[in-house]
Each structure stands twice: as structure tokens, then as C-alpha cells.
Amino acid sequence: MEAIQRLQDLFVMRQELLWSSLWQHMQLSLLSLLCAVFIAVPLGIVLSRYPRYAEWVIGVTAVLQTIPSLALLGFMILLVGIGPTPAIIALTIYALLPILRNTYTGINEVDPAIREAATGMGMNWRHRLLKVELPLAMPTVMAGIRTSMVLIVGTATLAALIGAGGLGDLIMIGIQRANNEYILLGAIPAALLALGFDLVLRITEKRTKGASYKPIIGLLTCAVALIVVPLLFTEESGTDIVIGGKLQAEPAIVANLYKLLIEEETDLNVAVQSGLGGTDIVFNALKVGDIDLYLEFSGTILSGILQKTEFSYDPRTAYEEARDEIYEADGLVFLEPMAYQNTYAIAVTKEFAEETGVQTISELEPYRDQLVAGFTFEFIDRQDGYAGFSEVYGFEFADVQTMDAALRARALVSGEVQLIDAYSTDPELVEYELHVLEDDRQLFPPYQGGALVREDTLLRYPEIEAPLERLAGAVTEEEIRQLNYAVDYEDADPEAVARDFLQEKGYIK
């Protein structure tokens, strides 16, 4: 009952966000389904006339559907950027197979005797298709469309990772904060939306029996209206600068710090597009020009982006190396960093540290076969993470589990894993009283955070450089940890948290 009450309270507090996310999700799903129907149904009809090509074409759509969702979404960023467009393309690709296969199968399964009778009555191929074949194949076609609709609604939740919006925003907030109520606030409407669409399609299918296409035409008209009409009343935002951000609270907070400082000192309009997934997604969005800047760290640039295995561990030298080499490689400008270091760390429970006396990472070696490590996907793959761990420390853990960053602290305190990767500014370190082990062999490089900006943005708006560097040498680890805590554990709005901080420090009025 307590969980239900918390969910009800969250619904009351966040219902505006819920309704806007639901509307975005519905539009995204409908447009993707319409695109898939307009491609797959005509193609299925054509293949029924040329069956020798059917197996090959249907096989291609089957292969496309096996591509992992996140991989396809990430690839689309390089082609069409972030936002709804790559999401619609990816969702359309996933929806093609059921509709195409069912259309082809439904038409091919029409009794040849019925086709001959229709031809004998003087029908040409077009009349036979519209009056006989499609009506008889309609139940099979509609079954494919209904399957695709459910697939689209579910997969569309991942579109939040590339800035397409929808109910995935709520689910990602819940995963990020390990908050079940947020997850349910996004997941329950998504499930109800899928059931609602399926019901509408089933009713349309029943009313289409016979040779009447009026229910289908009416449904298509309503779907197009739901997509197009709101666009007619949408005003241009007039945004000059778009600031991106990865998942987690900290990138969203810092993005809003930058936004408020720019708007305070210039006449530019700034938008924040946070929650864009990991480094690869945000960096690619910056390269293609969908965002103008985002918070990045010197260590991530050197090891994660430039794939360097050797670099300085002196913070200033590492920053200058990252600044110079990212400009040389990609023409991007890495501005002066803030004071805090958000470096990687290995954390254990306070009880484990007290029982074993382990204080450094190298002291874990005797326990390597007994411990289960819970590491994030990005940490596993990074040279300054677990990919370079054995080279620096000379051992590996026998059991390593990959998990989302938001779940690792709970997994640690529940005993499912015995050590995790963490960031030095994570609010979970305070919330769960975790013990950070000393990186005694210097696996983790300096991680100073600063604005990574497109050069053409700075040339177009040179006035933004000064406000972006107002925070250079400012903001301590304790301060950013408290800001993160306010967002993750007190459910505060990142922009409000950023505004309060800047006003308290006298940066803005």
C-alpha cells in the first residue's frame, strides 16, 4: 500500500510531465507505424506478384530486426542526428517485418479458385486486389500491424536516449535514480497505450470485414490528424544554443549552469537536451551539430574518445593534453575546467572494508576469486576502466557483472555484488556510506569537467566563451555531490538546483 501511495503522490506531482510524455510517445508511435504500413503493405502486394524476390526481401527485413535497438539508434545519430527523426526511422525499420510478411502471406493464401472466379467475372488485377484479395487477407494483414504496433510502443521507450522524448524519459529517470515509482509512471502508461492501440486496431479490423475500407480510411485520417494538427500550432522555439548532456543528474545540472550563465550575460536563447545516453551518443550528437556543447571530462577525452593508453596524471597537464588533442582530432574546443574531479573509483561497503582491512585496490587481489564485481557497461569497455585493470593491477575478478549505473549501489548494499565502480561525485557514496578504495597504482586519470564546444559555435557566438568559463576553477566535489543529491534523492528539478546554486554564489541575480 505504501508503494501505491508513493506512486499516486508522484503522479500528482509529475502529471504535467506524464501527459506531455504520453502525447510525445503516442505521436512517435503513430508516425512510425504509418511509415511502416505505407512501406510494407505496398511492398507485400508487389512481392505477392513477384514471389521469387519475396524470400530475399523478407529476409533483409528480418536481419534488420535483429539489430540491437540501442546500436541502431546510435548509428542513426551519425546519419540524421538526435531527436524524433532517427527514432522514427529506427522504429519503422523494426515494424516492417510483421506487416510485410503478413501482407505477403495473407494475399498468397487467397484460394486460387476465388481468384479465377473474380477474373471470370471480368475483374482486372486492380479490382481483384481491392475487391477480393485484400479483403480476404485483411485479418492476416491487421494481425501484422497489431504486432508491429505493440513492438513500436515498447521499443519507443529507448528513444529517450537520443532526445526523442516520450514515456522513456520517465523510465530513464527511474532507472537513473533506482526509483521504482518513476519506472512505473512511465511503464504503466506505455503498456496501456499498447493495449489501447491494439483494441482500436482490432475494432477497425472487425468493421472492415466485407469490402468496405471506410473504417481503415477513417482510422488513417485520425492518426494523421493527431500527428499533423499539433504541429500547426507549435511555435518556433528560436533557440540559438543547444547544450547536451549524458544520463545522470550531474550532466543535466551542469548543462543548466551553463544555460543560465549564458542567458544572464548575453541575449541568446539556450535549450538543454540532457539524458542523451553515454559518451558515444552525446559526442556523436556534438560532431554532427545537433548540440553545440556539453560537459565532458579530461580523462574521458583522453582515454574514452581519443583511445589513448598513455597520458599524464597531473591534472593541469592532462587538461592541456586533452584540450590540444581533441582540437587537433575533431576541431572541438575544450574550455577551462571546473575545480572538482569526477574520477572513477572502486567502492565497497563500509562493513567489507572494516572486516577485511582493505583500503587500496591492490589489496583486493587475495579476494579476487571470492568477490562479484558490478561494473557499468562504459567502465567495462574503457582503457582507464576495467579494460586496462589487469595491465595496471596484474589481476582480474573471477565474476564480473555488467549493470546500469543507477543500479550498482543498491546491488552492492544488498549483497548481490561486493564491489562496484563509482564516480567521486556520486551522491550514492553519501546515501549508502560506501567506502572508496585508494587507486594506489593510478589506473584512473584526472577527470576535470569543462565545456566541450563546437568551434563553429564559438565563431558564431564568441560572447558565450566568457560565461562558460565563469565556473573555471570553481565548484568543489562536495558542492557538486550535494547538487546531485538534491536531484537524485530529493527529486528536485535540475534547472532549479542550478539556479539556486548560481544565485547563492552570486553568479546571477
Please state, in angstroms and rounded to a whole number, the distance separating the CA atoms of residues 307 and 63: 31
Q: What is the mean pLDDT of residues 69-78?
A: 79
Mean pLDDT for 319-342 is 94
CA dist., res. 245 & res. 259, Å (int):
12
Q: How far apart are CA 433 and CA 469, in angstroms?
A: 33
Q: Which of 8-17, 143-152, 164-173 has the highest mean pLDDT?
A: 143-152
Q: Are 194 and 424 in contact (CB under 8 A)?
A: no
Rg (CA), the chain: 27
pLDDT digits (tens, 9 = 90+) for 16-28: 889 989 999 999 9
Q: Give the pLDDT of residue 232.
A: 66
| Secondary structure element (H or E) that encloses residue 147, with its range | helix 134-155
Separation CA 489–CA 170 (nearest Å):
15
Q: For position 242, what pLDDT does the model report? A: 94
In the predicted structure, residue 194 carries a pLDDT above the cut 60: yes
Q: Which residue has the higher pLDDT, 197 or 2?
A: 197
Residue 209 has pLDDT above 70, yes or no: no
Instruction: Give the angle 269-270-275 at the CA atoms, nearest 5°.
Output: 160
pLDDT at residue 237 greater than cutoff 70 = no
Query: What mean pLDDT, rounded, does the chain reach?
Result: 88
